[in-house]
């Protein structure tokens, strides 16, 4: 039996991501193999995955992944959903026996659409806004219930355990997706629990993170001004909500949003030409509360693709590679070569400079797949 290490290694997280920019779906076996190579960076206290393109038969429905650790919680959540949402389909999340996975919570998923009366009651809100309110309400106010995935045609699978065991537990080899993220989590300043493992998700955003967001308190207070409430007691939650706020709600271009989160230093801004200097100064001043401090490397998934971002001084490792239509990003080169032995290009991420793997427009619904 594997033994958990007693010491705390603040750098001990593993992240990996694979995206087909052509939108070609492939088995979860590849991401499971990639993250397993970095077993020693994890601790057995958390592991998880996100996949995009998982549910083409329910692609227009919000796919809620729910976990419950209180007997009364499922009934309360069902009653809350029934008031506001049409439940199109509901079922247990399929699982299998896996080594070192014990006492999991009750796991269910349901596919939903907003009821017309909820849209009529809140005419200024989009369907995405209504889902955000729903997910945050359940996580804040219904004890023993947790929404850990709430996007369309995607899903998050996570829990307490090594990621390779979590993958077996959730039977990820039976799923296909055009984008996969994975994480082996060493809890930073938080205990290990099923909801606290990575990825963290909201709508179709999913975030995995290596490092520590030391600006968590400031970021959390900033987000509350816009109706986002952090109830999961971990720093990565703020990254997820910031991407939703900056890109979906405030319509910032991706590059500008990344400059908000990991902006140039003031000394660098001073050397820019006048136009670039004005833009960089404006972003830093207007979005000061959204700046992320601390050592981090993050991978962010969405329906449109995958984004990788290091902190400005690159205090956490991140390697990228390309082969054919796929972009691979991981904490270690070995995790990439395990599933892509001969990449066409391979490079190390630069501090504060995003790497983007963009899925071609219209490719999200592709039903093509590879072995």
H-only helix segments in the chain: 29-36, 73-84, 116-121, 127-141, 163-169, 216-224, 236-243, 254-261, 266-269, 274-286, 333-337
Q: Is the dihedral of CA 140, 145, 151, 157 positive or negative?
A: positive
241 C-beta neighbours (distance < 10 Å), count: 27
188-to-12, 20, 96, 198, 209 alpha-carbon distances in Å? 9, 31, 28, 11, 10
Burial class of residue 269 in the structure, from the number of CB atoms within 10 Å of its CB (0-12 exposed, 13-18 middle, 19+ buried): middle
One-character DSSP codes across 33-67: HHHHTTGGG--SS-EEEEEES--GGGTTSEEEEEE
Provide the CB-side half-sphere exposure for 287 (13 A, CA): 24
Active site residue 340: no
Exactly one of 13, 110, 258, 340 is catalytic; name it: 13
Residues forming the active site: 13
């Amino acid at each position: 039996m594997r033994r958990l290490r007693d010491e705390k290694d603040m750098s001990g997280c593993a992240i990996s991501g694979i995206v087909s920019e052509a939108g070609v779906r492939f088995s979860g076996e590849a991401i499971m193999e990639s993250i397993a190579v970095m077993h020693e960076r994890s601790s057995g206290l958390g592991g998880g995955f996100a996949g995009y393109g998982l549910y083409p038969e329910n692609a227009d429905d919000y796919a809620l992944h729910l976990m419950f650790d209180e007997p009364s919680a499922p009934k309360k959540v069902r009653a809350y959903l029934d008031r506001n949402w049409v439940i199109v389909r509901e079922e247990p999340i399929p699982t299998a026996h896996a080594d070192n996975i014990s006492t999991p919570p009750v796991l269910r998923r349901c596919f939903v659409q907003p009821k017309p009366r909820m849209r009529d009651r809140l005419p200024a809100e989009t369907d995405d806004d209504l889902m955000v309110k729903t997910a945050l309400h359940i996580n804040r106010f219904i004890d023993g219930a947790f929404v850990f995935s709430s996007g369309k045609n995607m899903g998050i699978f996570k829990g307490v355990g090594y990621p390779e065991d979590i993958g077996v537990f959730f039977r990820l080899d039976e799923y296909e997706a055009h984008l996969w993220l994975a994480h082996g989590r060493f809890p930073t300043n938080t205990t290990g629990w099923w909801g606290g493992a990575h990825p963290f998700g909201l709508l179709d955003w999913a975030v995995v993170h290596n490092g520590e967001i030391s600006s968590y308190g400031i970021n959390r207070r900033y987000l509350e001004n816009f109706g986002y409430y952090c109830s999961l007691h971990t720093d990565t939650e703020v990254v997820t909500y910031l991407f939703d706020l900056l890109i979906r709600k405030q319509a910032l271009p991706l590059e500008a949003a990344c400059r908000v989160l990991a902006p140039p230093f003031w000394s660098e801004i001073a050397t820019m030409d006048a136009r670039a200097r004005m833009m960089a100064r404006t972003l830093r001043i207007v979005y000061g509360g959204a700046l992320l401090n601390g050592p981090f490397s993050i991978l962010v998934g969405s329906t449109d693709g995958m984004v990788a971002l290091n902190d400005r001084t690159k205090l956490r490792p991140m390697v990228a590679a390309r082969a054919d239509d796929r972009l691979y990003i991981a904490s270690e080169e070995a995790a990439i070569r395990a599933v892509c032995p001969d990449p066409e290009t391979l490079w190390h991420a630069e501090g504060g400079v995003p790497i983007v793997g963009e899925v071609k427009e219209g490719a999200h619904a592709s039903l093509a797949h590879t072995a």
